[in-house]
C-alpha cells in the first residue's frame, strides 16, 4: 500500500505496510542482552525496570489470530542502571501457550474472535477461556503479575521473567475468578502505597469486587480492603480510576448476547454490542478506608460514548472529576474483517473528555480536553487520585482525525497546551510511561519511556524523552521486534 494517489497524499503521514509489519510472531527470548544508545545517552539517574506486556504470538500452524488482542502474552523487561540498559523477554507459560506450543496448532478459541480451525462446528459449545496473560504487567511484592482481566493473574519472577504459574494471591481469589488487568497504584492516600484493583462477575446483574493490597515493603501483597457490590446490567469494565475516597467505574451502554459465541460463530467480545444512542453509567464505589466507607455506591448517568481507559480521577469539594478516553462506539472487528486492513477513517477515534460528577445534585457535565486522537494516557504516579496539571499519552500524528498512534504528547490539562515528540512517518508508538526523577518535586520532572515500532528497521526502539520538554534524550534500537502492545509499568530500583 505505497501507491501515491491524491487521496493518499491528503491522508496522514504513514505507510500502512509499516504499521502492519509489526503484526508478527516474536521468535526469540533474550536474557539480559546489553543495549547501547543509537542516539543520545541513557540518563545515569534512570534506575529501574520498564516492564511491558502485549501479544507476542499472532500465528500458529498457519492460523492467524482474528484480532491482535487474542495473541499470547509476552513480557519484556528493560533494566536501566548507571547509564546502561539490558533487555530480557519471555512468553508467559500459560496453560494454553504450553499446549499449543506442543501441538503446533491453535487449540483454543480467542475472546476477540480467533476460532479454532474447523469452522463453527469445531468451536460450538467450547466455552473454555484461554487465559493469555497479555494485557498488563505489574510488580506486587516479590512477584510480577501478568494480567488478563477475565481470569487469574500469572506470577512471574521479576528478574528472570520465568513463569511461576497461576496465582490466587495467597487465597484471595477463587480459581478462575476474574481479576482486572488495570490495577491503580494509590501513592499513599491512606498512609502507605496501595494497589487498588477489581474483579467483575458479569451477568444480567453484575458484581464488582474491589480489592486493595499493600504495595510496598514487607507487607506488599497483603489484602487490606475487600468489598463487593452488585449493579444492574451486564458489566464490561476494562479500566477504572481512583480518588482517595472513591473507586470510579464507567459502565458502557452495552448488551451481551452470548448465542453466537456459544454456537461457535463469534468470540465472546464480539457479542458485545453498544446500545445506539444510549448512555452509560458511572458507578462510584466508596473505598473502605475513605470518608464514605460503608455507604452504598452512587450511580450517575454518563455521556454517550464508549470508554476503555481513564486518565485519572480526583475530588473537588462535592464533585468527582474523571478524565476518560471516549469512543463514539465499541470498536469491534467483525467476523468478516481483517484487522490489518482496518480503515482508520471508518473506526471511531479516542478523545479525552473530562466529566465532572456533582455528587450533591447527581448532574454530570462533560468537556473535551483535546481534539487529538489518543490512547494510553497517564499522570505522574504521585498524582494518581489527585488533580494533576499534566497528562502524557500516545496520539496520532495528525491533530484531527483517526490514525495509528505515532507520537507521544504531554498535555496541560488546564490550558490545553501540548508538547509532542513524533515517531512519524515510519514509527508507531505504544503506551508512554512517565518515570519521575528520583527526588523530583515538579510534577513533570522525569522521563517518558516508550516502545516504538520502527517500520524502517522492522524492529522495536525504546525512546527516552524529557517529561517536561518532550525533547528526545535517547533512542535504543532493540534487537527485538515487538508487535504493537498493551500495558506496562515502571519499577524503580
Ligand atoms: O463475561 C466476560 C467479561 C469479560 C471480562 C465477557 C468477556 C469474555 C468478553 C470478557 C473478557 C474481556 C477481555 C479479555 C478483555 C481484554 C481486553 C484487552 C486485551 C485489551 C483492550 C484494549 C483496549 C484499547 C482501547 C486499546 C487500544 C489500542 C490502540 C488504539 C492502539 O492501536
Ligand atoms: Fe487497557
Q: What's the CA-to-centroid distance between 182 and ligand 2, angstroms?
A: 6
Task: Quote the ligand 2 centre to 198 CA distance (angstroms).
Answer: 14
How far apart are alpha carbons 31 and 88 in whole angstroms?
4
Residue among 233, 255, 269 whose CB has most ligand 1 atoms within 8 A, to mutate: 269
Beta strand ranges found along 158-202 (DSSP E): 163-166, 184-186, 194-201
Query: What is the distance in A from the centroid of ligand 1 to the CA of 293?
Result: 30
User: Which residues' Cβ are closer than 6 Å to ligand 1?
Assistant: 69, 111, 135, 148-150, 178, 200, 202, 238, 268-269, 308-309, 375, 405, 484, 486
CA torsion angle 457 458 460 461 (round to 10): 20
* DSSP-assigned letter for residue 69: G
Taking the CB of residue 192, how many other CB atoms lie within 10 A of it? 15
285 beta partners: 247
pLDDT reported for residue 7: 41
Q: In this predicted structure, what is the pLDDT of residue 13?
A: 84
From 128, 150, 333, mutation site for ligand 1 pocket: most ligand atoms within 8 A of C-beta: 150
* From 238, 251, 327, 393, mutation site for ligand 1 pocket: most ligand atoms within 8 A of C-beta: 238
Q: In this predicted structure, what is the pLDDT of residue 11?
A: 54
Q: Which atom of ligand 1 is nearest to the CA of 134?
A: 19
Asked whether the CA dihedral 133, 139, 140, 141 is positive or negative, the reply is positive
Burial 14-39 (b: 16+ CB within 10 A, else e): bbbebbbbbbebbeeebeeeebebee
- Number of neighbours of residue 107 by Cβ within 10 angstroms: 17
List the beta bridge partners of residue 446.
436
In angstroms, what is the span from residue 240 Cα to ligand 2's centroid?
10
ipTM above 0.90, yes or no: yes
C-alpha 44 to ligand 1 mean position (Å): 37
Dist. CA 181 → ligand 2 center (Å): 7
E strand residue ranges, 167-278: 184-186, 194-201, 205-214, 223-232, 241-242, 246-251, 254-256, 272-274
Per residue in 389-422, pLDDT tens? 999 999 999 999 999 999 999 999 999 999 999 9
**CA 349 from chain center: how many Å?**
16
For ligand 1, atom 11, which residue shows the shortest CA distance?
150
Tell me how many degrees the CA angle 166-201-208 measures, rounded to the nearest 5.
Answer: 105
Pick from 36, 44, 37: which is nearest to 447 by CA?
44
Distance 375 CA to ligand 2 centre (A): 9
10 Cα to the center of ligand 2, angstroms: 31
For residue 36, report the distance from its CA to the centre of ligand 2, in Å: 30
Give the number of whichever ligand sits closest to the CA of residue 239. Answer: 2
The atom of ligand 1 lying closest to the CA of 430 is 31
Is the Cβ–Cβ distance between 335 and 270 less than 8 Å?
Answer: yes
Residue nearest ligand 1's atom 9 by CA: 269
Burial (CB < 10 A; 0-12, 13-18, 19+), residue 389, is middle
Q: 41 CA distance to ligand 1 centroid (A)?
A: 36
Three-state DSSP class for 30? coil
Residue 160: how many CB atoms within 10 A of its CB? 12
Q: What is the pLDDT of residue 277?
A: 80
Nearest protein CA to atom 5 of ligand 1, as residue: 150
Written as tens digits, the pLDDT of the chain (493 aa) is 333 334 443 456 899 999 999 999 999 999 999 999 999 999 999 999 999 999 999 999 999 999 999 999 999 999 999 999 999 999 999 999 999 999 999 999 999 999 999 999 999 999 999 999 999 999 999 999 999 999 999 999 999 999 999 999 999 999 999 999 999 999 999 999 999 999 999 999 999 999 999 999 999 999 999 999 999 999 999 999 999 999 999 999 999 999 999 999 999 999 998 887 889 999 999 999 999 999 999 999 999 999 999 999 999 999 999 999 999 988 777 778 888 888 898 889 999 999 999 999 999 999 999 999 999 999 999 999 999 999 999 999 999 999 999 999 999 999 999 999 999 999 999 999 999 999 999 999 999 999 999 999 999 999 999 999 999 999 999 999 999 999 999 999 9
Given phi > 0 = left and psi -120 to 50 = alpha, else beta, which region is 142?
alpha
Measure 438 CA to ligand 1 centroid, in angstroms: 34
Closest ligand, as measured to the CA of 378:
2
Residue nearest to ligand 1 atom 4, measured at CA: 150
Which ligand 1 atom minimizes the distance to the CA of 135? 19
> Which of 16, 20, 92, 111 to mutate for ligand 1's pocket (most ligand atoms within 8 Å of CB)?
111
Compute the distance between CA of residue 57 and CA of residue 149 in angstroms, rounded to an integer. Answer: 19
Amino acid at each position: 500500500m505505497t501507491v501515491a494517489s491524491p487521496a493518499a497524499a491528503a491522508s496522514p503521514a504513514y505507510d500502512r505496510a509499516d504499521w502492519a509489519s509489526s503484526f508478527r510472531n516474536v521468535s526469540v527470548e533474550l536474557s539480559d542482552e546489553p543495549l547501547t544508545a543509537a542516539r543520545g545517552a541513557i540518563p545515569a539517574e534512570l534506575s529501574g525496570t520498564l516492564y511491558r506486556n502485549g501479544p507476542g504470538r499472532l500465528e500458529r500452524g498457519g492460523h492467524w489470530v482474528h484480532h491482535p488482542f487474542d495473541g499470547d502474552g509476552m513480557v519484556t523487561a528493560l533494566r536501566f542502571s548507571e547509564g546502561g540498559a539490558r533487555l530480557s523477554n519471555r512468553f508467559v507459560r500459560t496453560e494454553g501457550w504450553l499446549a499449543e506450543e506442543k501441538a503446533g496448532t491453535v487449540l483454543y478459541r480467542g475472546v476477540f474472535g480467533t476460532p479454532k480451525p474447523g469452522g463453527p462446528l469445531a468451536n460450538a459449545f467450547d466455552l473454555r477461556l484461554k487465559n493469555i496473560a497479555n494485557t498488563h504487567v505489574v510488580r506486587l511484592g516479590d512477584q510480577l503479575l501478568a494480567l488478563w482481566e477475565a481470569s487469574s493473574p500469572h506470577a512471574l519472577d521479576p528478574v528472570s521473567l520465568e513463569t511461576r504459574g497461576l496465582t490466587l494471591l495467597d487465597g484471595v481469589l477463587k480459581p478462575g475468578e476474574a481479576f482486572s488487568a488495570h490495577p491503580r497504584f494509590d501513592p499513599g492516600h491512606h498512609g502507605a502505597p496501595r494497589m487498588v484493583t477489581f474483579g467483575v462477575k458479569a451477568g444480567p446483574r453484575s458484581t464488582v469486587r474491589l480489592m486493595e493490597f499493600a504495595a510496598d515493603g514487607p507487607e506488599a501483597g497483603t489484602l487490606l480492603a475487600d468489598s463487593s457490590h452488585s449493579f444492574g446490567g451486564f458489566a464490561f469494565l476494562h479500566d477504572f480510576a481512583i480518588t482517595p475516597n472513591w473507586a470510579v467505574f464507567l459502565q458502557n451502554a452495552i448488551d451481551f448476547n452470548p448465542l453466537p459465541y456459544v454456537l461457535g460463530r463469534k468470540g465472546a467480545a464480539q457479542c458485545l454490542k453498544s446500545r445506539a444512542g444510549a448512555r452509560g453509567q458511572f458507578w462510584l464505589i466508596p473505598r473502605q478506608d475513605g470518608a464514605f466507607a460503608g455507604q452504598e455506591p452512587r450511580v450517575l448517568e454518563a455521556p454517550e460514548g464508549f470508554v476503555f481507559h481513564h486518565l485519572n480521577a480526583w475530588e473537588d469539594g462535592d464533585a468527582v472529576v474523571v478524565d476518560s478516553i471516549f469512543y463514539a462506539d465499541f470498536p469491534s472487528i467483525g467476523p468478516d474483517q481483517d484487522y490489518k486492513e482496518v480503515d482508520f477513517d471508518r473506526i471511531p477515534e479516542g478523545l479525552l473528555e473530562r466529566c465532572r460528577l456533582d455528587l450533591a445534585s447527581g448532574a454530570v457535565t462533560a468537556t473535551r480536553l483535546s481534539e487529538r486522537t489518543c490512547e494510553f494516557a497517564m499522570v505522574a504516579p504521585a498524582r494518581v487520585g489527585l488533580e494533576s496539571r499534566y497528562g502524557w499519552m500516545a496520539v496520532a500524528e495528525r491533530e484531527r482525525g483517526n490514525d495509528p498512534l505515532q507520537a507521544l504528547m504531554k498535555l496541560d490539562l488546564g490550558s490545553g497546551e501540548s508538547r509532542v515528540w513524533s515517531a512519524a512517518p515510519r514509527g508507531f508508538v505504544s503506551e508512554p510511561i512517565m518515570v519521575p526523577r528520583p527526588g523530583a518535586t515538579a510534577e513533570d520532572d522525569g522521563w517518558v519511556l516508550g516502545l516504538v515500532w520502527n517500520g524502517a528497521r522492522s524492529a522495536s526502539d525504546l525512546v527516552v524523552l524529557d517529561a517536561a520538554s518532550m525533547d528526545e534524550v535517547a533512542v535504543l534500537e532493540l534487537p527485538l521486534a515487538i508487535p504493537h502492545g498493551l500495558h506496562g509499568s515502571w519499577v524503580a530500583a
